[in-house]
Amino acid sequence: MSIFNYFLKKEKKASASVAKERLQIIVAHERNKRQQPDYLPLMQQEIIDVIRKYVNIENDQVSVQLDNNDDCSVLELNITLPE
């Protein structure tokens, strides 16, 4: 077995665990989105529009997330302002 083959084999070995990691991330993300109220995307867009009146930002510089705890919900708003 050449050294080249050895590395090929190694790479193959990792493929199922790469799949698992990617799935865990995307599934968690999509579950989170599912639990959010329907109005959230529109609200996020309006927030972005308001900020844009004052600062020039891109859509991906604003993240909105709603976390449901037992007795209350927390709306987390993260805005990264340009330098």
Partner 1 sequence: MSKIIVVTSGKGGVGKTTTSAAIATGLALRGFKTVVIDFDVGLRNLDLIMGCERRVVYDFVNVINKEASLNQALIKDKRTPGLFILPASQTRDKDALSMEGVQTVLNDLAKDFEYIICDSPAGIEQGAQMALYFADEAIVVTNPEVSSVRDSDRILGILQSKSLKSEQGGSVKEHLLLTRYNPERVAAAEMLSVADVEDILAVPLLGVIPESEAVLKASNQGAPVILDQDSEAGQAYLDAVSRLLGEEAEHRFLEVQKVGFLKRLLGGKK
**Residue ranges that bind partner 1, judged by CB under 8 A:** 12-17, 19-20, 22-24, 26-27, 30-31, 34
Euclidean distance between CA atoms 65 and 60, whole angstroms: 13
Nearer to partner 1, 2 or 15 (CB): 15
Minimum Å distance from CB 41 to partner 1? 17
Q: Note whether 78 and 63 are within 8 A (CB).
A: yes
The smaller minimum CB distance to partner 1, of residues 16 and 42, is found at: 16
Helices (H), 1-83: 3-13, 15-34, 40-52
Burial annotation 43-65 (CB, 10 A radius, 16+ → b, else e): ebeeebeeeeeeeeeeeeebebe
Residue 19 or 55: the one with the smaller Cβ distance to partner 1 is 19
Nearest approach, Cβ of 9 to partner 1 (angstroms)?
Answer: 9
Give least dist CB 67 to partner 1, A.
18
